Chain A
Amino acid sequence: MIIEQCKIIRNDEVAGGIWEMEFSAPEIVSYYTGPGQFLEILLENKWSFTVRRPMSIANVEEKRITIIYKIFGRGTKILSESKIGGILDLLGPLGNVFSGWKEKYVPILVGGGVGLAPILNLFKECQKYKIHSNLILGARTGREHFIDHDPSNGIFLTTDDGTLGTSGTVIPTLENVFSVVDNPMVYACGPLPMLKAVQDFVIQNKIPAQLSVESYMGCGTGLCQGCVIKKRNIKAKAHSYHERYSLVCMDGPVYSADEVCFD
């Protein structure tokens, strides 16, 4: 990882409230190891926004990185107002990567909300390696989607309000795809209710799966110990360290579905 001052090349609203930003980051790219990794963005006027914003890497092309973000609050609003040619202070790449997808499995990729960034990244990477994968993307409504519903090519969109693709959550589509795929492995990233539902489904059906989790982060480098997630099936011990909690920035953000607990 490294801190790099990166020039903004592109910053567009690609769907309702969903933005894509691309910047030149040759140094960060030189450390990049694959889909799943993320960046920490320091916003301008940095002491109004003390903590860097973690953002998953959505694409890496030569020396350029793309992120996808949704306007949630003041910080992401300011990000959306950033001008092309402007400079962003970025720390990265951070975290671990999705694994196993180059091996014997058929990847089923599930993304929702802003959680689609690492999933799209993995989808493109699968295409690059000519690995057939299935992509299931969920949103609340059609205008939040920015790629086409294309079931014949393994791209399935869902919307909560039924305005695009299949009506409902990603889970029924996941069930359908699962029923026709041999040797599947599920990769998911998205809002908490979606991750929980995917986790329940893969555990019940004994499907190997990896989840990329979100966490409120203070630094991204392990120093603050703030971004912990609870581990599953821990045995209570009087004294322990990192057995009950895992540090998302260092041990994650990608976990095996049976490792973490969202309660």
Chain B
Amino acid sequence: MTDFRIQIGNIEFKNPIFTASGTFGYGNDVPDFVDVSKLGGIVTKSITLHPREGNPPPRIVETPSGMINSIGLANVGVDHYMREMVPSYSTIGTKIIMNIAGSTLDEYIEIIRKVESISSDIAGYEINISCPNVKKGGMEFGVDRSLTAELTRTLRTLTDRLLIVKLSPNVTDIAAIAVAAEESGANAVSAINTVVGMSINPMSWKSNIYTVFGGLSGPATKPIGLAAVQKIFHSVKIPIIGIGGITNSLDVIEYFLAGASAVQLGTVNYQDPSAGEKMIDELETYCKDVSIDSISSLVGKVKN
């Protein structure tokens, strides 16, 4: 029996398979046939201070081995979320990480203050500083080391819960941003958010996405995610949560070898929202076959 437990900050997760923000709703609104209690954790949709309608359609388009989305942070807003969604977490059977996005430092502060003022079963926060699809989706923080540091440092003073900073691949040096987050008190970083991409209809000459650019996800991004995780692994000591194009248990192993201590599943949930449960069973088989006692023993073990 392999030990799949992992530790981030002072929180223990029963396994390293989480769902990625924006691909699994709020965790309590997924199809009935999904057993969310098998997951190590769920990262919610990005939640903002006020409700957001999101971008006009078209919001998504299929691309080779992936898809581009530009949803525009459509969400219910923090007040509705705390009132209507959070109470269901007491019986959900897995850890909930609340993803938050803001357009100013004050918005991030206000969201966390609201959450911290109420007792809840939220295990921690993932800070979205990397949404490529809205003008003020935190991206200006995510591309700047000092702004990342300032944001992380400020939010650290407001909460004892897990603080995970989600990094953008659309930067020159992702490891430098990870270091800024670590030095400012983040418990972990997650990488990568979507890669800026574009798709054009050759008949209409229009972009297939209303906002022209969108975020590329799916297997097409896996090599980019793996490289990002490996670079960050050599620069920080805090755990890295690997994201990008994971569709099966061997992809999870690759991310672990590159330096991830946990992973998030995104686009695969659109084909099958129960993909995570299945991957946990597959991982068990892999680990038994190669005689691994603890999944954590694989972290960063790629032979270079």
Q: A227 CA to B76 CA in the complex, in Å?
A: 17
Contact B76 A216 (CB under 8 A): no
The 8 residue pairs across chains A and B that have the minimum distance between CB atoms: A226-B60, A241-B51, A239-B50, A219-B270, A244-B53, A218-B60, A226-B59, A50-B67
Asked, given contacts A1-B31, A219-B270, A223-B30, whether A50 binds B57 with beta carbons under 8 Å apart, the answer is: no
Instruction: Check if A176 is an interface residue, CB within 8 A of chain B.
Output: no
Contacts of A218 in B (CB 8 A): 60, 67, 69, 270
Contacts of A2 in B (CB 8 A): 33
Contact A47 B218 (CB under 8 A): yes
Instruction: Check if B18 is an interface residue, CB within 8 A of chain A.
Output: no
Q: A197 CA to B274 CA in the complex, in Å?
A: 41
Closest chain A CB from B303 CB (angstroms):
27
Interface residues of A in 81-126 (CB under 8 A from B): 91
Contacts of B66 in A (CB 8 A): 50
Instruction: Check if A222 is an interface residue, CB within 8 A of chain B.
Output: yes
Instruction: Check if B90 is an interface residue, CB within 8 A of chain A.
Output: no
Chain A interface residue count: which class?
35 or more
Binds A, one of B21-29, B166-174, B281-289, B290-298: B21-29
Instruction: Check if B71 is an interface residue, CB within 8 A of chain A.
Output: yes
For A243, give the chain B residue with the smallest CB separation: B53
Contact B54 A245 (CB under 8 A): yes
A interface residues, Cβ below 8 angstroms from B: 1-3, 42, 46-52, 91, 215-219, 221-230, 238-245
Q: A51 CA to B66 CA in the complex, in Å?
A: 8
Asked, given contacts A219-B270, A221-B31, A229-B57, whether A48 binds B52 with beta carbons under 8 Å apart, the answer is: no
Contact A3 B274 (CB under 8 A): yes
Contacts of A230 in B (CB 8 A): 56-57
Q: A223 CA to B23 CA in the complex, in Å?
A: 5
Contact A42 B271 (CB under 8 A): yes
Chain B CB within 10 Å — which of A50, A217, A221 has the most?
A50
Asked, given contacts A219-B269, A223-B270, A241-B77, whether A48 binds B65 with beta carbons under 8 Å apart, the answer is: yes
Contact A47 B247 (CB under 8 A): yes
Contact B65 A241 (CB under 8 A): no
B interface residues, Cβ below 8 angstroms from A: 22-25, 29-33, 45, 50-54, 56-67, 69, 71, 74-77, 80, 218-219, 247, 267, 269-274
Contacts of A3 in B (CB 8 A): 33, 272, 274
Contact B52 A225 (CB under 8 A): no
Contacts of B75 in A (CB 8 A): 241
Contacts of A216 in B (CB 8 A): 57-58, 60-61
Q: A91 CA to B272 CA in the complex, in Å?
A: 9
Contact B60 A241 (CB under 8 A): no
Contacts of B58 in A (CB 8 A): 216
Known: A239-B52, A241-B75, A245-B54. 12 other contacts (CB 8 A): A47-B65, A47-B219, A47-B247, A50-B267, A216-B58, A218-B69, A221-B30, A223-B23, A225-B45, A227-B60, A241-B77, A245-B53
Closest chain B CB from A233 CB (angstroms):
15
Contacts of B271 in A (CB 8 A): 42, 46, 50-52, 219
Q: A1 CA to B274 CA in the complex, in Å?
A: 12
Q: A47 CA to B65 CA in the complex, in Å?
A: 5
Closest chain B CB from A162 CB (angstroms):
27
Closest chain B CB from A25 CB (angstroms):
15
Closest chain B CB from A221 CB (angstroms):
5
Contact B269 A223 (CB under 8 A): yes
